[in-house]
Structure 1
Amino acid sequence: MALSLREQLLRRKPIVFQQQHHQGEELARNLSTFQLTMFGVGATVGTGIFFVLGQAVPKAGPAVLVSFLIAGFAAGLSALCYAELASAIPVSGSTYSYAYHALGEFVAVVIAGCVLLEYGVSTGAVAVGWSSYFNELLQETIGWQLPEALSVSPIPVPVEDALGQITYPATGGMINLPAVVLVLLCMLLLIRGASESATINAIMVMIKLGVLVLFTVIGFSAFNADHFADFFGYGLSGISAAAGTIFFSFIGLDAVATAGEEVKNPQKALPRAIIGALTIVSGIYIAVAAAGLAAKPVEFFKETAGEAGLALILKDITGNQVWSTVLAAGAVISIFSVTLVTLYGQTRILFAVGRDGLIPKRFLEVDAKTMTPVFNTVTVSIIVALIGGFVPDVYLWDTVSIGTLMAFSVVAIGIIVLRRTHPNLERPFKVPGYPVVPILTVAVCIYIMWGLALVTWVIFLAWIAVVVAFYFAYGRKHATLNNYTSEEEIAEPGGRKRKDDEA
């Protein structure tokens, strides 16, 4: 019996308890809990600290520390929600898959658009920022760096002069070549296999944490209480706006969940890795942000936005290039891990969407030797390399945040829906304080989204319109659920089972 449009949009994917029940290609299950935790840390620490201070401090001033606390609080609530869904539904696709099981096909399609935007743009933004640290390292080690034409996007960025006038001066750039090269190197590593990528990522994360601890110690050695004067001078709107910019850096929580089908003992490993990653991330963020503000006034961050800000702080404090060179080298090595993990997350979400038939099956192809989705990885890498090579990061940060916030909100709503529709579902981890925590998660995410700029909403809604149009043109006709007809294979809204038409 044919489904009506409403039934098709709201139909839910059945919850699969054992991975061998999946039809089609499978991924190798060989990641440990530690590797998965390092995936989460690798996708966050670095993204938020090495780059975002230059974007967030000018919005909130010294109260950016409050912005970090708000973003971290929202991420903490979301982490608990992710932990429950990840333990109950340990599959690839993260938020997209959870939405398909809990809220239906159309919501899943919209969320797929959110997380693909989130991962694609964040990978490009991080690659752009990595380029500045790469040039800083070249300058400090060999006294030479790439010419501006090969290290800056040709698209101009807004600059505010002393009179408050906004201009768009020419950049002198043709392409951000280091950003492109970084993405392509990550692509080659991911093609080799997830386990190899996870091991290298874990090493780079440990280097990153060591470098940031070093920065914190040196930064506090130059503590100046005057830098925290007029703490709330930029107002609540500035704190909210900065929190929105910062929030994208907690994308690592979602990155952990994308590996649901490649980790050993996922029902225990996923919650532990998500909560462990959040704990490490939140602590290092607050410490480094406080150390940076202790050493430099707000004006410094305004003037150095888009540059290798942390390295410049160390150079000014110590009066020599040794420690700033160490930090720049650590950033170049460790930020590689951010690009690696966010690129990985996007390819796994596309893999899950491809298995559900909503995009062409080419995205589902897995190499017989490496057990990785090669076509998927190459396609994503090319698109992201173009973003990194030609779009300035100032246009990218908030766009990432809105996708992340939407994803986190849907996870919280999914918790509430599944508690009602599947009360007997095995949940090795349960959100404490239910239903307060999921409801509070949605409320905090809405508060942060409210502070985002209008242009961010325009870009986001335009992208979602494209995703929805593709779904109606292709996805709904090719959805795998179109071929499911048995009572156990498909469910209608409200938890009722759909039976074959026996007439």
Structure 2
Amino acid sequence: MRNSWIQKGRETNDGRKISERQSIEALSSGESEVKRTLSFGRAVGVMGGLIIGSGIFYTGSYVLDYSHGNAGVAILAWILGGLIVLGAAMCLSELGGIMPANGGTYVYLTRTYGKASPLLGFTMGWSDALIGIPGNAAIAMVGATYIGTLFGGFSSLQISFLASGICVVLTVLNLLGAKGGSIISTVLLFVKVIAILGVIIACFVLGQNTGDPITFTNTTGEGAVLPALACSVVAVLWCFDGWNSICHMGGELENPKKNLSRVMVVTIVGITVLYLLFNLGVMRIVPIEDIIASENVTYDVIGILFGKGAATVITIAIICSVIGSLNSCILVYPREIYAMSRDRRWFAACGKLSKKSGQPVAASLYILAMMIFYCFVTSFQNLVNIIVLYNGIYFMLAVFGVIVLRKKYPDLERPYKVPGYPVVPILV
């Protein structure tokens, strides 16, 4: 039973209809029309590179603001955010082990909910294709803005042109092959991790303990703990955006039934620890009210420790972080468009692969065109608001799909099972 069966709209090449169970089993065979060239290490690089963008460098200010300056609540929010994402990742790892194919969440939803699946797949796919995936232009705009700071600032039009140029260059590089694109993400991941670790070490080893003590006391205003914690966790979750990204490349991952869960768990646990230590380090050096008031607290920390001249170095590190995240997006997300096209829910041209590189060229070029369009017609904040709104709905449905498939097909081969089922999926 070949994977090409199922990528063509629930029917074989001779037009014979197949059941939902057969559809899942076809994908479960592990056969793929694309080459499985993505090793465990490069997969961690792609996923980590996509998640760690610019957010870690300034989101800590928002988290403390939402928590009314309560450092204890802020730290708890970073821990809870990591645990929520880890639980969700374990749920998608079970689905990915059953259906190790390109397309990720889109593929899982279109093969889980019976008669509702076509509608869910259609709405999610078109939402992603028109808004969600091209919305990654927001990352390019952040990168262009940071580059502008090195040259005294750019106008909005200059930022749009530069952001578009970044998208073009990264798309061309990734069209040469998934291996090359994943190497770029991995190299830039090392750069950003080294930069973050450098800040952490400097804060704990070189800096004086000039920040406020970590207590469960509001320092900037009154407010109940639970609402403050809830808002803080939402801000934290934005820093983990892209946690499901490697699922989109399930068809290119080496030994996906084993490696998918390992990649997701190792990456998310590592990033959670990194985020937690980074924020503890910053709070050790900078008072809480100063963190909340700062537009770039990382810049301020480096200024305190090494002087303002070192700000250029950290700005370059942030630019590498942003570009690395965007590169992973451009590498990963055309796979969803490709899967949609193979299921006849998007234009057929995007369902073809390059014979030379094995890459979904048409899907990548479509996303590039839309990203350039968004660079000129909207703002970073508008893109983020729209993406966050609908993403939560489909992630919730995907996680609940673990319970649905356990009930409908308890005998399916499950190389990985969610620990603590059904408590973990329900809590997530």
TM normalised by structure 1 equals 0.72
- What does residue 130 of structure 1 align with? 143
Alignment of 1:305-324 (within 5 A): 305=295, 308-322=296-310, 324=311
Alignment of 1:93-104 (within 5 A): 93-103=103-113, 104=117
- Over 3 Å counting, the alpha-carbon distance change for 1:114 and 1:297 in structure 2 is farther
Pairwise CA distance, 1:251: 3.0
Q: Are residue 290 (structure 1) and residue 280 (structure 2) matched?
A: yes
Most deviating of 234-243 and 275-284: 234-243
SS at match of 2:340: helix
Q: Does the CA-based 8 Å contact 1:179-1:389 persist in structure 2?
A: no
Query: Please, which of 73, 88, 93 is the counterpart of residue 78 of structure 1?
Result: 88
Q: Are residue 400 (structure 1) and residue 387 (structure 2) matched?
A: yes
- Over 3 Å counting, the alpha-carbon distance change for 1:249 and 1:226 in structure 2 is closer
Query: Please, which of 360, 365, 376 is the counterpart of residue 347 of structure 2?
Result: 360
Alignment of 1:250-289 (within 5 A): 250-289=240-279
Alignment of 1:50-65 (within 5 A): 50-60=57-67, 61=69, 62=71, 63-65=73-75
Alignment of 1:13-412 (within 5 A): 14-15=23-24, 16=26, 17-20=28-31, 26-60=33-67, 61=69, 62=71, 63-103=73-113, 104-113=117-126, 115-116=128-129, 117-121=131-135, 123-136=136-149, 138=150, 144-151=151-158, 175-220=159-204, 221-226=207-212, 228=214, 230-231=217-218, 233-235=222-224, 236-305=226-295, 308-322=296-310, 324-412=311-399
Q: Does the CA-based 8 Å contact 2:212-2:286 persist in structure 1?
A: no
Q: Which runs of 5+ in 2 are unaligned?
A: 1-16
Q: Does the CA-based 8 Å contact 2:30-2:99 persist in structure 1?
A: no
SS at match of 1:46: coil
- Over 3 Å counting, the alpha-carbon distance change for 1:186 and 1:255 in structure 2 is same
- What does residue 482 of structure 1 align with? none
SS at match of 1:253: coil
Deviations 1:267-315 (A, max 9, x none): 111111111111111111111122223333444455444xx54234312
Pairwise CA distance, 1:11: 6.8
- What does residue 14 of structure 2 align with? none
- Over 3 Å counting, the alpha-carbon distance change for 1:224 and 1:370 in structure 2 is same
- What does residue 417 of structure 2 align with? 430
SS at match of 1:321: helix
Q: Does the CA-based 8 Å contact 1:94-1:257 persist in structure 2?
A: yes
- Over 3 Å counting, the alpha-carbon distance change for 1:128 and 1:68 in structure 2 is farther
Most deviating of 224-233 and 251-260: 224-233
- Over 3 Å counting, the alpha-carbon distance change for 1:86 and 1:11 in structure 2 is closer
Pairwise CA distance, 1:127: 1.9
Most deviating of 236-245 and 210-219: 236-245
- What does residue 4 of structure 2 align with? none
Deviations 1:332-354 (A, max 9, x none): 22321100112333211111111
Q: Which amino acid aligns with 1:400?
A: I
- The CA distance in 1 between the partners of 2:174 and 2:270, in whole Å, is 25
Aligned residues: 396
- The CA distance in 1 between the partners of 2:47 and 2:171, in whole Å, is 19
Pairwise CA distance, 1:178: 3.0
- Over 3 Å counting, the alpha-carbon distance change for 1:180 and 1:300 in structure 2 is farther
Q: Does the CA-based 8 Å contact 1:258-1:349 persist in structure 2?
A: yes
- What does residue 166 of structure 1 align with? none
- The CA distance in 1 between the partners of 2:78 and 2:228, in whole Å, is 12
Q: Does the CA-based 8 Å contact 1:296-1:313 persist in structure 2?
A: yes
SS at match of 1:70: helix
SS at match of 1:176: helix
- What does residue 459 of structure 1 align with? none
- The CA distance in 1 between the partners of 2:163 and 2:232, in whole Å, is 25
- The CA distance in 1 between the partners of 2:64 and 2:419, in whole Å, is 33
Deviations 1:444-476 (A, max 9, x none): xxxxxxxxxxxxxxxxxxxxxxxxxxxxxxxxx
Deviations 1:43-73 (A, max 9, x none): 1123430343354443333433333223212
- The CA distance in 2 between the partners of 1:333 and 1:288, in whole Å, is 18
Q: Does the CA-based 8 Å contact 1:353-1:359 persist in structure 2?
A: yes
- Over 3 Å counting, the alpha-carbon distance change for 1:362 and 1:185 in structure 2 is same
- Over 3 Å counting, the alpha-carbon distance change for 1:285 and 1:115 in structure 2 is farther
Q: Does the CA-based 8 Å contact 2:104-2:336 persist in structure 1?
A: yes
Q: Does the CA-based 8 Å contact 1:39-1:202 persist in structure 2?
A: yes
- Over 3 Å counting, the alpha-carbon distance change for 1:252 and 1:18 in structure 2 is same
SS at match of 1:101: coil
Pairwise CA distance, 1:114: 5.6
- Over 3 Å counting, the alpha-carbon distance change for 1:403 and 1:72 in structure 2 is farther
- The CA distance in 1 between the partners of 2:156 and 2:110, in whole Å, is 45
- The CA distance in 1 between the partners of 2:383 and 2:292, in whole Å, is 18
Pairwise CA distance, 1:436: 0.8
- Over 3 Å counting, the alpha-carbon distance change for 1:149 and 1:252 in structure 2 is closer
- Over 3 Å counting, the alpha-carbon distance change for 1:302 and 1:399 in structure 2 is farther
Pairwise CA distance, 1:124: 2.4
Pairwise CA distance, 1:406: 2.5
SS at match of 2:266: helix
- The CA distance in 2 between the partners of 1:124 and 1:227, in whole Å, is 39
- Over 3 Å counting, the alpha-carbon distance change for 1:418 and 1:147 in structure 2 is closer
Q: What is the RMSD of the two structures over their aligned residues, measured on CA atoms? A: 2.6
Q: Which amino acid aligns with 1:224?
A: T
Deviations 1:368-392 (A, max 9, x none): 2111111211111222233344533
Pairwise CA distance, 1:261: 0.6
- The CA distance in 2 between the partners of 1:150 and 1:294, in whole Å, is 39
Instruction: Percent identity, please.
Output: 21
- The CA distance in 2 between the partners of 1:86 and 1:240, in whole Å, is 29
- The CA distance in 2 between the partners of 1:428 and 1:19, in whole Å, is 12
- The CA distance in 2 between the partners of 1:227 and 1:386, in whole Å, is 47
- Over 3 Å counting, the alpha-carbon distance change for 1:298 and 1:115 in structure 2 is farther
Q: Which runs of 5+ in 1 are unaligned?
A: 1-7, 139-143, 152-174, 442-503
